[in-house]
Structure 1
Amino acid sequence: MNAKSLIIFMVILIGLIFNQGHEFSYLIKYLLMAMLFFPFLTISPPKDGKVYWHVLAQFAAMALLSLTVYWMLVNWDHQLSTIAFLLAFTPTATAAPVVIRLLRKNVEYVVLAVVVTNLFVALLLPFVLSIINPGEVNIVFAGMLFSTFMVVFLPLVLAQLVKFYFRELANKLVLMNQLPFLIWMAVLYLATSKASAYLFGHATSFRLFGEIALVSLVMCGFNFLLGRYLGGKRYAVEASQALGQKNTLFMAWVALEYVSHYAALGPVCYLVFQNIYNSILLNQRNNHVN
């Protein structure tokens, strides 16, 4: 296991045990915006035109899968069906380009996936949630639309302004590759603390937690496999990461703000599983190189 994966697991564990950070969970939104700002600085249009079709197909697959798993589970357990929907509809993680770079694959593909899926999800999620959970999800529709869109749109616009008008500053910020990771860890601690504080403050059955973890595991494995299939031989690894490595902290914030504290456990569990998988990939890559 590499050092960063170990740090991630330690932060999750600390958040679960020392959950005093839940009092500062309102900062998650702003930290997410700061974290998105850095990969948006490196955006450049992919030269291969097929990449655009691949990414659009990936988003279509996300949308179709999210609705399919929801309707498959809704008659069994409404809460689990909503969690499964959120996990399927979660956009590509901002950390995905970092993993792809370590695997020495096409970074531009995954950066485009980050931009497209995060923007589309920010725009569509309020509409879809209000349809599948009318009257049951704590949504102030206009407020959620504005919040989710601005979390993605504002850092994108600021990053492009800095990139085009303050090139020297942009180059220096890109070199600060440890800062986004530290921000990521801060968001992870706050989200985990928020979920932990709710669990300790309310009666939560071990069975419910186990069911949420199982749904998260199944969705995680299926997303990576589906992405590999959609990517074909040329972009198998890139598409697998783009569809499988999710921006779980964004969706944890959505769950905490607009769905339920229980729903936030889904993205937190998914985060653990996707990092286990990526740790295996990176270790295999290192062993192959050595």
Structure 2
Amino acid sequence: MKSIIDSAKNWTLPMAIVIGTAGFPVLGYFSFLLPWFIFGMLLLTFCRIPLSEIRFTAMHFWLLALQLGGSILAYFLISPFNILLAEAAMVCIIAPTGTAAAVITRKLGGSAASLTSFSILSNLGVAVAVPLLFPLVHPGDGDIGFLATFFTILQKVFPLVILPFILAMFLRRFTPVLNEKLSNLQEWAFYMWSIALMIVVAKTVNSLVHDPAGGITAIWLGLIAMSASGLQFFIGKQLGRFYNERITAGQALGQKNAILGVWMADTYLTPIVSIAVSAQLVSQNLFNAWQLWMARRAEEKKAHSKEARHLVSG
């Protein structure tokens, strides 16, 4: 029975993607539950992180520079050939760290505290940079003003990232018993993200089915998204080696907030660009599923090796 449960855990993310794809006509109607799943998932994760561990390091500022500077560089490199693909690359890179990144980072053995620190910095950096940059590359009706956009983005960031963090710190300070109970429910955070992923994938597939964009355009947008996703994971991991935080830096730069990314594309850029953000969501979670599978294999090999040494010594 235990082996069946462990096998199901190994395939949770791929199963979520498959179920979301197959069930898109129905699951898309449950999108109103997404904020609640994300809030609960982050609350459980933050309950394990002491406030003293939230601090910004040089690595975090390098990651932010790569996130913002990389988006600008990608746009100017690709725009001479195709503006639509340039905008897609820009939004895929500048999108802030995903709300589930702390959960995946913890399961991979990285530092959830360091990831959370960067997530706060990343979301605030995007809230300032996007209203400045996007109207310059795509002027038009999307230009709703810096202050209006800043507060709109902040309204989306606060309840999903900042509020659960504040509540977790409150529980740690004033209700330590409840905080301890919640901190012991970390598996729930992972499964809440899996359910949220099913719903987001369903919404993505639904938009692809009903979007009027040509098939070739959608394929190019998907290729741009997958390339941007893979490159960011790679660069993040390479930077993290210098700070002994390879896993954390890779997830911080590679795992994106797709929901916010879709909103930015719809508000400032060509709406079709949101297809690229959706494709990035799928590709980054396929990569996460592979990473989790490899991590579990390594744990199993380590456990078997330890058991074998114990038998020999016994």
Q: The TM-score by the shorter chain falls in which range?
A: 0.7 to 0.9
**Are 1:267 and 2:277 counterparts?**
yes
Aligned to 2:125: 120
Could you tell me how far apart the structure 1 residues matched to 2:144 and 2:38 are?
A: 20
Pick which of 80-89 and 195-204 moved more: 195-204
**Are 1:226 and 2:231 counterparts?**
no
Question: What is the identity, as a one-letter code, of the residue corresponding to 2:156?
Answer: V
Pick which of 256-265 and 234-243 moved more: 256-265
Deviation at 1:260, TM superposition (A): 4.8
Question: What is the identity, as a one-letter code, of the residue corresponding to 2:257?
Answer: N
| Aligned counterpart for 1:104 among listed residues 97, 109, 127 | 109
Gaps of 5+ in 1: none
**Does the CA contact (< 8 Å) of 2:21 and 2:205 recur in 1?**
no
Residues 19, 284 of structure 1: alpha-carbon distance in 2 compared, 3 angstrom cutoff: same
Deviation at 1:29, TM superposition (A): 5.7
**Does the CA contact (< 8 Å) of 1:39 and 1:94 recur in 2?**
no
The residue matched to 1:204 in structure 2 has which SS? Answer: coil
Could you tell me how far apart the structure 1 residues matched to 2:271 and 2:261 are?
A: 12
Question: What is the identity, as a one-letter code, of the residue corresponding to 1:173?
Answer: L
Pick which of 271-280 and 55-64 moved more: 271-280
**Are 1:285 and 2:291 counterparts?**
no
| Aligned counterpart for 1:131 among listed residues 133, 136, 154 | 136
Could you tell me how far apart the structure 1 residues matched to 2:232 and 2:295 are?
A: 21
Residues 107, 259 of structure 1: alpha-carbon distance in 2 compared, 3 angstrom cutoff: same
**Does the CA contact (< 8 Å) of 1:46 and 1:108 recur in 2?**
no
Residues 147, 267 of structure 1: alpha-carbon distance in 2 compared, 3 angstrom cutoff: same
Aligned to 1:171: 180
Once the two structures are superposed, the pairs formed by residues 1-290 of structure 1 within 5 Å of their partners are: 2-14=10-22, 18-19=24-25, 32-33=38-39, 35-44=41-50, 52-135=57-140, 137=142, 139=144, 141-154=146-159, 155=163, 156-181=165-190, 183-185=192-194, 187-233=196-242, 234-256=244-266, 259-289=269-299, 290=301
Deviation at 1:201, TM superposition (A): 3.6
Could you tell me how far apart the structure 2 residues matched to 1:198 and 1:22 are?
A: 10
Q: Could you give the per-residue CA deviations for residues 219-262 of structure 1, whole angstroms, max 9, x where no partner exists?
A: 11110111122112422222112111222233234334554542
Deviation at 1:205, TM superposition (A): 1.4
**Does the CA contact (< 8 Å) of 1:19 and 1:196 recur in 2?**
no
Deviation at 1:137, TM superposition (A): 3.0
Gaps of 5+ in 2: 1-6, 302-314
Deviation at 1:213, TM superposition (A): 1.0
Q: In angstroms, what is the RMSD of aligned CA positions?
A: 3.1
Could you tell me how far apart the structure 1 residues matched to 2:143 and 2:30 are?
A: 20
**Does the CA contact (< 8 Å) of 1:216 and 1:267 recur in 2?**
yes
The residue matched to 1:135 in structure 2 has which SS? Answer: coil
Question: What is the identity, as a one-letter code, of the residue corresponding to 1:117?
Answer: S
Could you tell me how far apart the structure 2 residues matched to 1:123 and 1:168 are?
A: 38
Could you tell me how far apart the structure 1 residues matched to 2:206 and 2:29 are?
A: 9
Deviation at 1:191, TM superposition (A): 4.1
Residues 34, 118 of structure 1: alpha-carbon distance in 2 compared, 3 angstrom cutoff: farther
Residues 202, 86 of structure 1: alpha-carbon distance in 2 compared, 3 angstrom cutoff: closer
Residues 284, 250 of structure 1: alpha-carbon distance in 2 compared, 3 angstrom cutoff: same
TM-score when scaled to structure 2? 0.77
Deviation at 1:84, TM superposition (A): 0.9
Residues 257, 7 of structure 1: alpha-carbon distance in 2 compared, 3 angstrom cutoff: farther
The residue matched to 1:97 in structure 2 has which SS? Answer: helix
**Does the CA contact (< 8 Å) of 2:92 and 2:276 recur in 1?**
yes
* Structure whose CA Rg is larger: 2
**Does the CA contact (< 8 Å) of 1:123 and 1:149 recur in 2?**
no
Aligned to 2:310: none
Deviation at 1:62, TM superposition (A): 0.8
Residues 76, 143 of structure 1: alpha-carbon distance in 2 compared, 3 angstrom cutoff: same
